[in-house]
């Protein structure tokens, strides 16, 4: 029987972990669940098809190859009984926390018997850690408790619902047994359209940086990353935001590939226009399909999430349903 299965957030840290002489096999989870549809009441295999399809449509590979990787990933996970210990290595950011919820939810329904399910929670980015730092993390390994599994089930279910009310309500619950969960919930809520201009936090930060004169795409990305309490977004996702802004004349690119904000972009940044009145709103956050017919917006000052109706004639949001 093999001893250890290490489940990690992606491929980037595998070589570092091997240099640190971390024992066992490695299973990278490799899915950015903060983007695209994550619908409820699907098996792991059914969800993997949805995710492969989304990532393919996002332009990040052929569906057949992506689905093959997901199937291989899922098959290795389902062989967990071949191991004496399963170690979950996950960081404190939104990207990792959603992956962790998915995995804990899956293990919550499995018979572990004498298999140890171990969690290594870290505020270090695994891919940026040294082998020595990776080794030290082993000292903070804890065995996953039934209470953690139950909370993860509740949170994962809430994230996948078609209405985001239960995800928002988790902010009111004690979640310290998963210490990085509450900040991740809040950061995901900040990606809902703002009541001021319909921009997500990431979109607003991006446009603000460009308006302040940073004109190189990589520099814009790095500056936006510096605003994050916990970095979670890869550059591939970020380029999509820039493409959308450019396609809808929010920013302009000159012959030297330098980016500047357009007059329309300035109106958007100054909250004189709504982003979803410029670019059609057709986006998923977890199981919630955002559209003008299902419009949930984040109230930044009050930190609340409400359902709205957008009046084109008045250019304003009219509240439909409050979550509180």
pLDDT for residue 122: 84
Q: Are 288 and 163 in contact (CB under 8 A)?
A: yes
Spatial separation of the C-alpha atoms in residues 298 and 300, rounded to whole Å: 6
Spatial separation of the C-alpha atoms in residues 32 and 95, rounded to whole Å: 6
Spatial separation of the C-alpha atoms in residues 248 and 263, rounded to whole Å: 12
For 73-82, write each residue's pLDDT tens digit.
999 999 999 9
Is 60 exceeded by the pLDDT of residue 1?
no
For 129-159, write each residue's pLDDT tens digit.
999 999 999 988 999 999 999 999 999 999 9
How many domains would you assign to the chain?
2
Spatial separation of the C-alpha atoms in residues 178 and 30, rounded to whole Å: 21
Task: Report which of 171, 189, 40 is spatially closest to residue 102, judged by C-alpha positions.
Answer: 40
Same-domain pairing of 209 and 77: no
Q: How many CB atoms lie within 10 A of CB 150?
A: 14
Same-domain pairing of 13 and 154: yes
**What is the span of the domain harbouring residue 248?**
192-322
Q: Between the CA of residue 240 and those of 140, 183, 220, 288, what are the distances in Å?
A: 37, 24, 13, 20
Task: Report which of 157, 174, 158 is spatially closest to residue 166, judged by C-alpha positions.
Answer: 158
For 260-273, write each residue's pLDDT tens digit.
999 999 999 999 99
Same-domain pairing of 269 and 168: no
Name the domain boundary from 188, 210, 231: 188
Separation of first and last alpha carbons in the chain: 51
Q: Which CATH number does the domain housing residue 85 bear? A: 3.40.50
Same-domain pairing of 244 and 170: no
Q: Between the CA of residue 153 and those of 24, 105, 176, what are the distances in Å?
A: 27, 5, 15
Task: Report which of 217, 68, 53 is spatially closest to residue 225, judged by C-alpha positions.
Answer: 217
Token output for 98? 């959603």
Rounded (10°) angle between helices 217-226 and 201-211: 120
| pTM, full prediction | 0.96
Token output for 291? 């559209």
Q: What average pLDDT does the chain have?
A: 95
Region of residue 239 (left: phi > 0; alpha: psi -120 to 50; beta: else): alpha
Q: Is 277 exposed, middle or buried (0-12, 13-18, 19+ CB in 10 A)?
A: middle
Same-domain pairing of 48 and 95: yes
For 150-203, write each residue's pLDDT tens digit.
999 999 999 999 999 999 999 999 999 999 999 999 999 999 999 999 999 999
Same-domain pairing of 145 and 204: no
Spatial separation of the C-alpha atoms in residues 40 and 53, rounded to whole Å: 16
Same-domain pairing of 32 and 120: yes
Is 70 exceeded by the pLDDT of residue 220?
yes
Same-domain pairing of 118 and 238: no
Rg (CA), the chain: 21
């Amino acid at each position: 029987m093999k001893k250890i299965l290490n489940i990690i957030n992606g491929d980037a840290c595998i070589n570092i972990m091997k240099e640190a002489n971390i024992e066992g096999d490695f299973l990278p989870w490799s899915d950015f669940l903060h983007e695209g549809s994550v619908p409820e009441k699907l098996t792991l295999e059914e969800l993997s098809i949805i995710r492969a399809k989304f990532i393919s449509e996002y332009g990040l590979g052929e569906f057949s190859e992506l689905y093959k990787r997901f199937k291989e990933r899922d098959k290795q996970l389902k062989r967990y009984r071949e191991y004496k210990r399963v170690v979950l290595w996950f960081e404190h950011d939104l990207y990792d926390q959603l992956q962790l919820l998915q995995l804990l939810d899956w293990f919550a329904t499995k018979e572990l018997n004498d298999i140890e399910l171990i969690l290594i929670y870290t505020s270090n980015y695994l891919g940026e850690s040294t082998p020595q730092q990776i080794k030290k993390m082993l000292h903070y390994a804890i065995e996953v408790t039934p209470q953690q599994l139950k909370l993860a089930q509740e949170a994962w279910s809430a994230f996948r619902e078609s209405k985001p009310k239960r995800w928002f309500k988790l902010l009111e619950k004690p979640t310290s047994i998963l210490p990085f969960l509450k900040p991740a919930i809040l950061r995901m809520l900040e990606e809902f359209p703002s009541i001021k201009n319909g921009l997500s936090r990431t979109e607003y930060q991006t446009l603000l940086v460009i308006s302040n004169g940073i004109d190189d795409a990589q520099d814009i990305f790095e500056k936006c990353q510096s605003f994050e309490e916990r970095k979670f977004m890869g550059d591939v996702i970020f380029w999509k935001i820039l493409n959308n802004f450019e396609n809808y004349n929010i920013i302009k690119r000159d012959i030297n590939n330098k980016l500047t904000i357009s007059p329309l972009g300035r109106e958007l940044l100054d909250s004189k226009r709504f982003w979803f009145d410029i670019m059609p709103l057709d986006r998923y956050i977890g199981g919630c399909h955002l559209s003008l017919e299902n419009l949930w917006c984040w109230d930044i000052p009050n930190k609340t999430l409400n359902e709205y109706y957008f009046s084109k004639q008045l250019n304003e949001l009219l509240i439909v349903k409050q979550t509180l």
